[in-house]
Amino acid sequence: MSYESFLISKQKRAKLQGIEISPESLNPKLFPYQRAIVSRALRAKRFACFADTGMGKAFLELEFAYQVCLATGGNALILAPIAVTKQLAREASKFGYKVTLCASQADVRDGINITNYEKLHKFENDWACLVLDESSCIKGFQSAITRSLFEFGKDIPYRFCGTATPAPNDLIEITNHSEFLGILSGKEVIALYFTQDGNSTVEWRLKGHAKKPFYQWLGSWACAIRKPSDMGSFDDASHQLPPLEYHQHEVEVQKENLSTLFAMAAETLQEQRQAKRDSLKERVAKCAELVNNSEGYWVIWTELNQESQVITKAIPDAVELTGSQSESVKESILEKFSKGEIRVLVSKPAIAGFGLNWQHCHQIAFLGLTHSFEQQYQAIRRCWRYGQEKPVQVHYVTSNLEGKIVANVKRKETEFNEMMDNLVAEMKDFQAKNTFTRTEHKTGYKAGNGWDLYLGDCVEEIDNLKSESVDCIIFSPPFPTMYAYTDLEADMGNVESIERMIEHFKYLIPELNRVLLPGRMCCVHLCQLLATKGRDNYIGVKDYRGKVIEAFDSLNFPYAGEVCISKNPQIQATRNKERGLLFKSLATDSSVMRMALADYVLYFRKLGDNPKPIQAGMSKKYNPTGGWITEEEWIEWADPVWHRYNAITRTGIRETDVLNVRSARDNDDERHLCPLQLGVIERLVKLYTNPGETVLDPFNGIGSTGYKALELNRKYIGIELKESYFNTAIKNLSLAESVKSNQLDLFGVAAEA
């Protein structure tokens, strides 16, 4: 594979090729934006539509299933909530689709078949197409229905998910949709785009540099839409919603009904539930007054069983829909209400709040207000949706005891609107695209006295160097899955796994071999990588070191040895909140304990004889002119472990002996840049180069290798992809150049406390 093709392949997107059909060839009864969505979905083969209520997801699902059946000759199965199946069948008849309502495999007929999620186990999975209506049901990753859906659908070629859930950028929901559709596994999504602050109990969030790639990836297999124009230049005129008007009715609870001595606003969930019980009589009376003194249809949403029972008795023409009723009774009640044969329906949002179309009703009351904004959102949108002709009146009947419930709902609504606006805005740039090109990055060049610095992709910029023009190579490669400092495909750290990084790294290794002098060293500084429960599904260590050695060996660049660099376990434990290093873990369960991770410098020697011997040792017998490494230094350096700095002997590697990195950081950087200690660089430069020779660092960073090389009277070439680091490196190399020329004391300039 060419390097250009490899970089494009790093862009995560749905790659399956389905049915090519133009929007104009689809059902003419669909709106133009709906035909555009179905055309994209058929082409993608597996697709999710995060569409607001009333945008016609049912018609999208039906047309997708119909076209798959037509093109493949196979059958389609649509899974829907129990309350929605008959409504879906009615909607199908309006658009000319022939569907079959099924209770089991025995009922299946050619074409489109519809059943509810609870009956999934009664069906075989030999389908050409599987559609999930109200697919937010797969949000609960560990739920039995989610696991069964994953297993049932894994071999079905065409899949479609439709949901109006108000959290389409929620990590669990996104990863579950991606996994169900066979795009990426949840672990891969987390590794590529998400990070945590602190310990593993903190929620995952998008990495700073991952925002654009995440939405581009999401836009390749899904669309987010609140109105037609979100899909492009489509007219919103036919999708204007009537006003939504909120009314709050707060009742005073009688003292004799209080379970406490004084009336106090409830704070905890337990207190709020008790407050609902204490205020039941007053709230029911107020709600019944509103409904009984009005005309037209009503939906009354409750939270507690007692609320549902009491309010139904207080309203003569109310009908209660409960979870304990049989499937046939539920379907009968819902069908009668949808046809206008029932004036007042009483139920819970969890039972009847999803997927139903009740534009004939414009009056809603929440007698029991749930903390679940998703349930409230869905419950309101049964009536407030496209096709509604009247302003929708939403009444909240609460008591003075219920405290923060209403405030929480309003806060969540504000957050939701902001979230959806951001999501649609981010995806709008990507969801109409069909082709992908690599993300462009800046290139540049800067030179000084004894140094050259290139801005760009090291795999490409190393072409500027002549063969066998470099005397030593010293660098730290990116640490995959730990740090990604850009959103560029050229960033080797911008990957989901060590294996993917090594695949990228192998484009560079032959070039390193080419530019290096025969018999000379390539020194690679790295550490092993941690496996975490959230990202890798186990706790342990991943062998990055071994895979780098294998990569060099496979490309005829032999492994020549290594040195281990001791690290401070207290610093690691404090900085990374690593459970296996914390003393409290030793007291609770020492089976999780491990030693701190060391650093390594791996040596790779280019084949051939060194044409320019390096006479580094101070030996009158072997080197009469005198070298630059003392016998005492070599005794310390020859140890297989380079130990931490000892203040008494003033030997060892000081972890804080690094260049200042603060000025190089971007706002989106997830971590502080971790430059190689200057003490390590000094030893490598002295061991493997003569004064005046050239050192190369293809992952320049802020210029630590070059800074030390110039100080030690060597020349330097660096390559850096990230512009802010490139600019900081110019300052550092210029400083080293000027300091050297003026013979100034370097103490304190390079070290960061």
In angstroms, the CA 367 to CA 509 distance is 68
CA 253 centroid distance within chain: 47
SS3 455: strand
pLDDT in tens, 674-731: 678 999 999 999 999 999 999 999 999 999 999 999 999 999 999 999 999 999 999 9
In angstroms, the CA 30 to CA 42 distance is 15
Domains and their CATH numbers in the chain: 3-237 (3.40.50.10810), 241-403 (3.40.50.300), 444-742 (3.40.50.150)
Tell me, what's the pLDDT at 260? Answer: 45
Tell me, what's the pLDDT at 690? Answer: 96
Q: Which region, left, alpha or beta, applies to residue 550 given φ > 0 means left and ψ of -120 to 50 means alpha? A: alpha
Tell me, what's the pLDDT at 708? Answer: 95
In angstroms, the CA 303 to CA 245 distance is 22
In Å, how far are 222, 233, 616 from 436, measured between CA atoms? 16, 21, 52
In angstroms, the CA 683 to CA 180 distance is 52
Nearest Cα residue to 682 out of 647, 651, 726: 651
For 393, residues 6+ apart whose C-beta sits below 8 A from its C-beta are: 245, 247, 362, 363, 364
In this structure, are residues 77 and 152 in contact, taking their beta carbons and an 8 Å threshold? no
Nearest Cα residue to 740 out of 516, 448, 432, 500: 448
Burial track 273-302 (b if 16+ CB lie within 10 A, e otherwise): ebbbebbbebbbebbbebbeeeeebbbbbb
In this structure, are residues 389 and 242 in contact, taking their beta carbons and an 8 Å threshold? yes
Tell me, what's the pLDDT at 364? Answer: 95
Please, which contacts does 570-578 make with residues 24 or more away whose CB atoms are closer than 8 Å?
571/655, 572/596, 572/597, 577/198, 577/199, 578/530
- 397 - beta bridge partners? 249
The string of DSSP codes covering 613-628 is: ----B--TTT-TT--S
Tell me, what's the pLDDT at 372? Answer: 72
In angstroms, the CA 715 to CA 696 distance is 9
- For 561, phi then psi, to 5°, come to 145, -175
Tell me, what's the pLDDT at 226? Answer: 84
What does DSSP assign to residue 382? T
In angstroms, the CA 419 to CA 425 distance is 10
Per residue, the 3-state secondary structure of 273-333, as one string, reads HHHHHHCHHHHHHHHHHHHHCCCCCEEEECCCHHHHHHHHHHCCCEEECCCCCCHHHHHHH
* Antiparallel, parallel or unpaired: β 694-697 and 715-720: parallel
In angstroms, the CA 341 to CA 84 distance is 18
Consecutive 10-residue runs of the chain (753 residues): their mean pLDDT? 86 76 93 93 92 86 96 95 85 90 95 93 94 80 75 94 65 80 81 65 67 79 86 83 88 59 46 71 92 95 91 95 89 90 93 84 87 80 87 89 65 74 70 59 94 97 97 93 71 87 96 98 94 76 95 97 92 72 81 87 98 88 80 94 92 88 51 75 97 97 95 96 93 88 48 37
Tell me, what's the pLDDT at 111? Answer: 95
For the beta sheet containing 472-475, the strands, ordered from the edge strand earlier in sequence to the opposite edge, are: 444-448, 451-455, 715-720, 694-697, 472-475, 521-527, 599-605, 559-565, 641-642
In angstroms, the CA 172 to CA 140 distance is 8
Tell me, what's the pLDDT at 751? Answer: 39
In angstroms, the CA 296 to CA 731 distance is 75
Residue 440, judged by CB atoms within 10 A of its CB (0-12, 13-18, 19+), counts as exposed
For 384, residues 6+ apart whose C-beta sits below 8 A from its C-beta are: 53, 241, 242, 244, 392, 394
* Antiparallel, parallel or unpaired: β 298-301 and 222-225: unpaired
Tell me, what's the pLDDT at 353? Answer: 73
SS3 350: helix
Tell me, what's the pLDDT at 753? Answer: 33
* Antiparallel, parallel or unpaired: β 599-605 and 559-565: antiparallel
- For 230, phi then psi, to 5°, come to -65, -20
